Amino acid sequence: MTAKPETVEEYLAQLPDDRREAIEEVRATILARLPDGYEESFGFGMIAYVVPLERYPDTYNKAPLMFAALASQKNHMAVYLHGVYSDPELKDWFVDQYKATGKKLDMGASCVRFKKLENLPVELIGEAVAKTSVDAFIQRDEQVRAEAAAAKKARKKK
């Protein structure tokens, strides 16, 4: 990319044609299945799907709480699914469903990497996104932060 993009449109315009087409298809699926209350934005160098600060200002970094994201990286494209990553039951479901498609899962902590669109079960991405309401995502974020704080406090007592 030449200039640092500041909007989703600028980001998409700077992608090579094959990647832009792939990212646009995944984006359309996410937008079609995104539960009410999330917003699409551009941040962290990615197309992001966030809980707006007006809805939930109590984030750890004072930025909107990121639910999902979509990016073109140097060697691959990636869908970041923080809703799946933060919920062990949903993650197990997602992994099982992904494997059932017969496609190879290349998953990091919260991202699913793919080099070509045909390697990604796009409809499954939409299903995964649709499974977590804003309220459930906020509740899970608060639970994870409380558990981390409790663990930190316990370590200090030792």
**Which segments of the chain are extended strands (E)?**
39-43, 46-51, 65-72, 77-81, 111-114
Residue 115 lies in a domain: yes
Residue 1 lies in a domain: no
**pLDDT per residue rounded down to tens, the chain (158 residues):** 457 899 999 999 999 999 999 999 999 999 999 999 999 999 989 999 999 999 999 898 999 999 999 999 999 999 999 999 989 999 999 999 999 999 999 999 889 999 999 999 999 999 999 999 999 999 999 998 888 888 888 888 87
CATH of residue 34's domain is: 3.90.1150.200
Residue 2 lies in a domain: no
The per-residue pLDDT for 2 is 59
Residue 136 lies in a domain: yes
| Cα 148 to Cα 136: distance, rounded to the nearest angstrom | 18
The per-residue pLDDT for 1 is 46
Residue 153, domain extent: 8-157
